[in-house]
Structure 1
């Protein structure tokens, strides 16, 4: 039942090249067969199989009216899995009721504890629910993502008076995207708001281009959690540990690229081929107003990106083919002599945070950089561009528009 395949993923409005591990298709031949693999939680009616568009799917029956005492309906499956690397999990759900607004929770048991995350199923159409690994919280003391022994899927009661209802379920998957963003641990994210905000902006720009990103917290960064990804983005990580730096050095030596912003740990300078310089703040406002870029090796690189920065940390090329690709200009259009973007064969460095101004060109810059590091992404970028070209206002397809 478990299989791994490379594919072009279609997740909500995004496309990206990644790896999918099918945890369960729920394509069992009979109700007897599904019950050999999955067990109902207390109060859940016996599992059954149904047909949907000529595919076998699981029917989860929730007797919320018949048994007012149960808060949820759900299923368990015993497994033995290492899920260290995937960054997102997904499952397709089709509620019976058109008024459905049910919380759906996905759990992974590891040792004596659990990892859990939630999403919502609304309406009665097939929908793909996504659970980002960075959103999972720990209950009790799980033994690690490499020791998953139980999968649990739960649909929660919506109201005290709701009727008995059913949910069709198919295609539970674990997904590993090519790009990963390294973020602070959840306990530090309120403190490190600059990093979290920068990560959100970078991810938003890339998703618009059809490039989905995973997230890994700094404490969970390891060779296993990085897996075979192509690029690790550090939006601003000034407190990176020696262990994390060692992992990133191994990642670069194995062919991975890293994209650093506003800070280069000394331990990464040699492998990256870029040496950290000094702090700089212009004497007057407007001293850092735009970035002029040029490099024939980087496809799709915009000529200019506006960004009103107030300071930066300089750097210089020092090896691995590193060169200055972007220079800062002031608001009068004069060059400052300060590098904005340096690119090497091992990665890149941007001398400030990625801000939200000039979003179209900022998106183009980040897309070009990721496509340069992993050319296979251009297929998904093209697919997203074609899909977005077919959307006019609120209409997602030309067929919807023709119905006016």
Structure 2
């Protein structure tokens, strides 16, 4: 999830765009809303806003006819009084139309409020959905969802305001909307749905909505999203494509180029009219008709930037012959380096630890190699990284998230070379948005915010002065039309502002400072000694390292086979412990408990097949066998138990750490073992299986408890045995953020684990880029466990490029006196872009 949220008044001129529905009958104009708590008027809409609903309704009846709620019936067919969403109400605030949406959760059984609006519209060429919200009692809301229905599916976006009792401008990139079902495309949207989800404990809230619309960018750049249809469709394949589409859109956005996101199902409707550059981040199996449209686009003067796995026909459009994929030796593909002077704005070197690349060659007379892959020691390989032609550029792997500043600059340079006019737009956008790097609304606010931080001393002041000087230079160069110079100055502004922010933080002694590291071998391209030494320099003192999956281990184990795919069966745990202890870092062995990973990734596929044949994997409500181990199966419970106890007894281990200690969702497991054990506990047969244990089934409550008991049984057993055989080893768990919802959704009753003393500390995965949501989660979690054991919030650094968001959430955790925090995750990207910033202030050694 990525979104931009700006709170406060946003200066912009209004544009009047007609509403998308026929006007409803007018009766009586709504009365002005008495401003609750002196609510200010909403900000003016953006000048380029395409209004999706003006929210001008003549009466409450008209508004409720437009924004209605799906009825929920009781068993007798009557509308269920305790399962209704409150009706909307149109109000005027200082002459501005606003829609009041009461979130009534007390005495209501619905998990969320739901308001639907029929709205038939083509949003294929849109980049963002933008609107303003004002919330009273934001703590009553766990999260917000915004849906657009199309065909047989929905596009689902999430957001969370960063302030209550203040207008917040929400911007959700279209690239960041997920997919449910099979939508027909953004060109055929037929309904919008707004849903605030209740938090726990339940309380009521008021939501006000204004300036609801969309943005069609003027930059002339699009990101192409392949939508898999027909027999090849799979959720896993689509998510893989969407990951790189989202990443490319985010990089372009941060570079000052706001792209529209075009789905392949919308190309016929939207066409490529008015575009200059189309970026194809990852589109395996791209259909011939789409390639034909792209070829026509190039013949008309357009340019394409394509990455990695695309059909040979698209390579031919770019003047590139695509060969086979090549997997490098360790450290072989470590950077892309231009052979000569790179395009203006692009860097000479782009660091990227790639695990594969297409061996592509230029077609004589049509293209040439511009950059080559280089190894970690700087040696040039024989594999081209970037090939340029008159049609655009081909990059032989996806653009990963490491070295993001260089990736943004690379895309900006490649696009500007094909489309020079974009430089002006880039400058204007980045000048306006440079303040957001420290999460402020404008430049004066950013300067004031950093200058007022408690640790703002001489070094911070010097860095802030450099930022202000570079900002003045950027303004001057922009005024003279020197766009390249102005953009270069803005790079200096951003760097100096972030440095000043980091230097202006204060450190706290005796703090639990942990990282989750997902690979047993540590950070790619680094030894365990190098990885541990870097963390120690950055003030980290705890390592939670993923050495175990449900079916395999990253070290020699008497319980589990060694991870498949690792040619050298090294004892990575021993290497990690030796290096970390040398640098004063404790080691906690992290186990992914019921998930064995994708077949063949850690556990060989034939081993997966045996687990399925033995009835040890979970079954969903449709009877489909999944790849997760069933927690009610005695052999699976013993396997998890034995692996974690064995880990606790390994020399030098300081802790064992549960993860995925839950079900994947609320639709498993319904295997024969689960049914037999559930009926035995129930003392009766279940007539309708699994209907009677689903959300409206007669045995639902007992089923929820059954699933929780299956998970808790293993936690307790591991606790009891580790206390006996390794009493000095700590026991901890990574858990879902929302309690008690996680009891119902995934069978994870972590409050009970804390109450019973099964854990020494707990790490809720509070992954959000929004400080207000993070704050609310930490508070509710501490309230739930009453500080019986330490609670160290998990910070999703991967959602927040750079160090600022992570540091702000560290400070929120400190405000609640949690005594520590955990960062997800320690890898090649964060090792370069995040951790080196921490010792400048927030984890600086005592002076």
Cα drift, residue 397 of structure 1: 0.7
Cα drift, residue 343 of structure 1: 1.9
Distance 1:160 1:19, change over 3 A: same
1:90 paired residue number: 130
- Structure 2 matches for 1:322-361, cutoff 5 A? 322-330=367-375, 333=378, 335-336=380-381, 338-361=383-406
Distance 1:19 1:244, change over 3 A: farther
Structure 2 CA distance for aligned equivalents of residues 145 and 394 of structure 1: 30
Distance 1:286 1:61, change over 3 A: closer
Are the equivalent residues in 2 in contact too, given 1:103–1:118 (CA < 8 A)?
A: no
Counterpart check, 1:23 vs 2:78: no
Counterpart check, 1:55 vs 2:96: yes
Structure 2 counterpart of 1:316, from 333, 341, 362? 362
Distance 1:392 1:367, change over 3 A: closer
Normalised by the length of structure 1, the TM-score is: 0.75
Structure 2 counterpart of 1:238, from 284, 291, 309? 284
Unaligned 5+ segments in structure 1 are 5-17
- Structure 2 matches for 1:277-288, cutoff 5 A? 277=323, 287-288=332-333
Cα drift, residue 259 of structure 1: 1.5
1:251 paired residue number: 297
Counterpart check, 1:182 vs 2:225: yes
Structure 1 counterpart of 2:337, from 292, 297, 321? 292
Structure 2 CA distance for aligned equivalents of residues 394 and 83 of structure 1: 29
Counterpart check, 1:372 vs 2:414: no
Are the equivalent residues in 2 in contact too, given 1:195–1:236 (CA < 8 A)?
A: yes
1:260 paired residue number: 306
Structure 1 CA distance for aligned equivalents of residues 97 and 250 of structure 2: 36
Are the equivalent residues in 2 in contact too, given 1:87–1:134 (CA < 8 A)?
A: no
Cα drift, residue 212 of structure 1: 4.2
Are the equivalent residues in 2 in contact too, given 1:116–1:138 (CA < 8 A)?
A: yes
Normalised by the length of structure 2, the TM-score is: 0.39
2:213 paired residue number: 173
Q: Tell me, what secondary structure is at the counterpart of 2:236?
A: coil
Counterpart check, 1:35 vs 2:63: yes
Q: Tell me, what secondary structure is at the counterpart of 1:252?
A: helix
1:120-152: CA deviation from partner (whole Å, max 9, x where unpaired): 44442323152636634345x766544444434
Cα drift, residue 316 of structure 1: 0.7
1:155 paired residue number: 196
Cα drift, residue 180 of structure 1: 1.0
Structure 2 CA distance for aligned equivalents of residues 233 and 188 of structure 1: 23
Q: Tell me, what secondary structure is at the counterpart of 1:68?
A: coil
Are the equivalent residues in 1 in contact too, given 2:155–2:179 (CA < 8 A)?
A: yes
Structure 2 counterpart of 1:400, from 434, 442, 449? 449
Are the equivalent residues in 2 in contact too, given 1:326–1:339 (CA < 8 A)?
A: yes
Q: Tell me, what secondary structure is at the counterpart of 2:346?
A: coil
1:13 paired residue number: none
Cα drift, residue 169 of structure 1: 0.6
Are the equivalent residues in 1 in contact too, given 2:339–2:372 (CA < 8 A)?
A: no
Structure 2 CA distance for aligned equivalents of residues 2 and 105 of structure 1: 25
Are the equivalent residues in 1 in contact too, given 2:309–2:358 (CA < 8 A)?
A: no
Q: Tell me, what secondary structure is at the counterpart of 1:250?
A: helix
Q: Tell me, what secondary structure is at the counterpart of 2:251?
A: helix
Structure 2 CA distance for aligned equivalents of residues 340 and 118 of structure 1: 34
Unaligned 5+ segments in structure 2 are 1-15, 20-46, 72-84, 454-847
Q: Tell me, what secondary structure is at the counterpart of 2:283?
A: coil
Distance 1:279 1:161, change over 3 A: closer
Distance 1:166 1:290, change over 3 A: closer
Cα drift, residue 23 of structure 1: 0.9
Are the equivalent residues in 1 in contact too, given 2:226–2:283 (CA < 8 A)?
A: yes
Greater RCO, 1 or 2 (C-alpha within 8 Å, sep 6+): 1
Q: Tell me, what secondary structure is at the counterpart of 1:190?
A: helix
Cα drift, residue 82 of structure 1: 2.5
Cα drift, residue 306 of structure 1: 3.4
Name the structure with the higher helix share. Answer: 2
1:19-40: CA deviation from partner (whole Å, max 9, x where unpaired): 75321243x2754696397244
Q: Bigger shift: 70-79 or 265-274? A: 70-79
1:171-225: CA deviation from partner (whole Å, max 9, x where unpaired): 222334533143564954535787565545544433432334555555x362335
Compare CA radii of gyration and give the structure with the larger one.
2
1:291-347: CA deviation from partner (whole Å, max 9, x where unpaired): 33267793212223334446541221456x633322344556555454321222322
Are the equivalent residues in 2 in contact too, given 1:85–1:226 (CA < 8 A)?
A: no
Q: Tell me, what secondary structure is at the counterpart of 2:215?
A: strand
Structure 1 CA distance for aligned equivalents of residues 253 and 130 of structure 2: 17
Are the equivalent residues in 2 in contact too, given 1:21–1:173 (CA < 8 A)?
A: yes
1:115 paired residue number: 154
Structure 2 CA distance for aligned equivalents of residues 388 and 267 of structure 1: 39
Distance 1:86 1:295, change over 3 A: farther
Distance 1:80 1:46, change over 3 A: closer
Name the structure with the higher strand share. Answer: 1
Are the equivalent residues in 1 in contact too, given 2:337–2:350 (CA < 8 A)?
A: yes
Q: How many matched pairs?
A: 382
Are the equivalent residues in 2 in contact too, given 1:88–1:131 (CA < 8 A)?
A: yes
Q: Tell me, what secondary structure is at the counterpart of 2:139?
A: coil
Distance 1:148 1:207, change over 3 A: closer
Aligned Cα root-mean-square deviation (Å): 4.1
